[in-house]
Amino acid sequence: MRRVALFDLDYTLLDFDSDHAWGEFLCDRGRVEAARYRARNDAFYADYRAGRLDMDAFLRFSLAPLGALPYADLLDLRREFMASPAARAVKSKAPELVRSHACAGDRTAIVTATNCFVTEPFARLFGVQRLLATEIETRGGRPTGAPLGEPCFREGKVAHVEGYLRSFGGSLAECVFYSDSANDLPLLERVGRAVAVDPDPRLETEAIRRGWEVVSLR
């Protein structure tokens, strides 16, 4: 049986939150109103860590620059972001973990709530076969600043993974899912093997209670 290895991105493979870091980068480059944007970015990030994020409100906020800035500028900014120190904090053991699954013949996918524009370069960096992320509406080949479909967040991650599995007749029982966050409990509860990676306190408590593996990639 060919397994499916699913990886959360932020604070699982990376040692930072790519969504929050992208917002900070836009502030530093003067592409948004820095003081106001940074305050809201920090507030949404705190809500996410506390498990109370209003995803719809966050997406209206975080995707707005993608609809407001020229697309060519966005691509240049993303390249600059990926070359910045902020985007280089990959957990030391993360690349080898992904490679080990690929070498074993497993299908590999990143499953992240962060939008696809920000996370596509990280999917290429880790060499996974598939990126499952919050999708963005496009018009005329450029982002509109609105989400498309169900966000890949909490129960939405389950829906995105199930859609991916249907494409090749796979099942959740064949999946291993690595995550740091209690926000991912809906998917962790459904897969055949759940692994808590450098978990937040809520996930660590649940992982110990349920007998899940707890590992560190640092």
Q: Name the 3-class secondary structure at 106.
A: coil
Q: Which of 8, 19, 106, 180 is catalytic?
A: 8
Active site residue 10: yes
β-strands 130-139, 142-148 pairing = antiparallel
Active site residue 8: yes
Instruction: Return the DSSP state at 105.
Output: T
Separation CA 19–CA 13 (nearest Å): 14
Q: Which of 10, 17, 180, 184 is catalytic?
A: 10
Kindly list the distances between the CA atom of residue 90 and the CA atoms of 105, 117, 126, 206, 218, in Å, as whole numbers in the listed order: 23, 19, 10, 25, 9
Contact status, residue 143 vs residue 63, Cβ threshold 8 Å: yes
Active site residues: 8, 10
